[in-house]
Structure 1
Amino acid sequence: MTLDLTQRRGLSPSATPMPAAPKLAAPQLALISWIAPLGVLLLWEAASRAGLISAQVLPAPSKVALTGWALLTNGSLLAHLGASLARAAAGFAIGGGIGFALGILVGFSRLAEALLDRSIQMIRAIPFLALLPLVIVWFGVDEAGKIFMVSLAVLFPIYINTVLGIRQVDPKLLELARVSGLGRAQTIRRIVLPGAMPSILTGVRYALATAWLALVIAETVATTRGIGFLAMDAREFLQTNVIVLTILIYAGIGTGADSLARALERRLLAWHPNYAKGARA
């Protein structure tokens, strides 16, 4: 006697298959992602109003918002924010370009790796704070030193992820390109760079975070503009609400930059099954 389909699968005849989990649309997922941050803000506000948190230690979000509005209306917040964004953009463009070029060179050439990689890794291991005195000696306290710090911070994650992406391209694809008669330039453009793009864009996302870390350090030294200066100036006068405001601004900028990087991923990696529309729903 033959077994029916349910018995062959180890199920009883009365068992029913588990229903598939409902897929959530992108707007629903985006809404869910804000539940935790908004919940933290609400708990923070409630604890502050109940007197559980001292205003000198951590002012309520409502007071921080009022402080931000006051700085916005008098124009000082936009001036500081504009200065920081300009430094971050210039440093990211310079450091990102150099990191990508070095990553391409080392990724394709073992000789270039032998000549350059060890030195790059040694420089990468030096903390930003240890470099700061030397940067001041080299560039003084002008804008060049701050942009240099950001460029250096951005260079390494993009360099490492570019090399990693190139080295992780499927050898079968390279063999297919050779059999198909593609030249070196076409192989790089149509096979290697698209295959390395997920890793490169991961480096971009990481570099966006390290850029702001380096900028915060750079803006604490002899400057009169920037979000970092605003925080250090507030520290001198014990203005906790301004300090918290700058922290929230950094968090907001980081979230916005990461969202832009994700949008870039979705655009450039639309061909990839893990980044296609609805792949993660």
Structure 2
Amino acid sequence: MIQDIAPLTFHNQYRRRLPGPHDQVLIYQGESVAVLRGGNGELRLPSRGDLGNAADEDFRYLFDISGIGYFLYLEKMPRAYRNSVESVRKLRQEKNKDICYAVATGFQLYVWYRDNRYCGRCGKRTEHSPDMRMLKCPHCGNEIYPKIAPAVIVGVKDGNRLLLTRYAGRAYKRYALVAGFNEIGETPEETVQREVMEEVGLKVRNIRYYKSQPWGVDSDLLLGYFCDLDGSDQIRLDHDELETGEWFEREEIPVEDDGISLTRAMIRAFKEGEIK
């Protein structure tokens, strides 16, 4: 999955420090990020040294990967990079998994900083805590922490069959699994039951946790679960959410693992017999 960058290690503790010349810089504009490509298409991010004229206060520390710091550029997109931006969502397909992970995770923090410049309680300008990743309103004391939205990915199985779905009204048209956000006052297991019933009209039992994944592009924390069909296998689609819902025998599943998403990892696990 996108976060599997070993032997490199990811450290997300907030540190109040300035960037060194070799530290990496994330420069976002909307849902795009500035990147550099070599003659062979090899991907890299700008370094602090590449932005030599920028002031140190124009950078905010985000995290580090194996000792290399990653910083958010706080000013507008520099003119030199305006023709070197690429979609944050499309970059997740790149082979440089550490860069993809850094771009996605950095984007989550970029959106949080962008959307919380002012206090949602009193409207005053917020200030960054010197000790932790938290924004605080100096007027009313409101404390704001990074947004993390829990959601479930659900592998509904019936013996040797797995339920695959396709979203309605989205650009992504490939097969996926039932999915949805955790709502107020419910456990993830209750979310599994509710989402499966809402999207495909099926009852499930024997709900069990598989794996999780941070999905920074949408500020999500994805929780993967498998469960067994309980009763009728007749699918009743919510057409506002899904275009199709189909049962596939294990050997006939037309999806391969992309090495990026929890959804694909779960489909592979069932297809290869890891999940019986």
TM exceeds 0.5?
Answer: no
Return the structure number with greater helix share.
Answer: 1
Please classify the TM superposition score into its range, dividing by the shorter chain length.
under 0.3
- The two structures have a TM-score, normalised by structure 1, of 0.24
Return the structure number with greater strand share.
Answer: 2
| Higher-RCO chain (CA-CA 8 Å, sequence separation at least 6) | 1
